[in-house]
Amino acid sequence: MMRVRREAYETMLAHAREGAPEEVVGVLVGRRDPDRVTRVERAHNAADTPRTRYAIAPTEQVELLDTIEAAGDEVVGFYHSHPAGPAEPSATDEERAAWPGHVYAILSLAGEPSLGAWRWTGTAFDPVTVTVD
């Protein structure tokens, strides 16, 4: 299970809406074991095709990770949006996942906004229950 602070969820939702129709991306910040997201760090989507892909530039990723570590927090995982698709990983999301043990959250704007989450095992995504409080 992953608990997400309401303020962090609202920040992700605002980010996704501002970025639509392109996907947005960011880092889930807080504590792992158990997963507790207390805030998020927005990132610039550096993908070549941001309407259907997401990527964080390596230099920005290092800067974000340094900022998170300096604050005494942990990377719980990453989030991105699906402006017109479901809140579930695509084949591309699975091909590009690179952080085993971390959560990948997807915020869908198709219809009523919804948030799904999966833990990357290194070979597959396992569903994670999400609560927002």
Strand pairing category for 35-43 and 2-4: parallel
At 36, list the tokens: 């507790």
Cβ(70)–Cβ(84) under 8 Å? no
List residues with catalytic annotation.
Answer: 23
d(CA 106, CA 112): 14
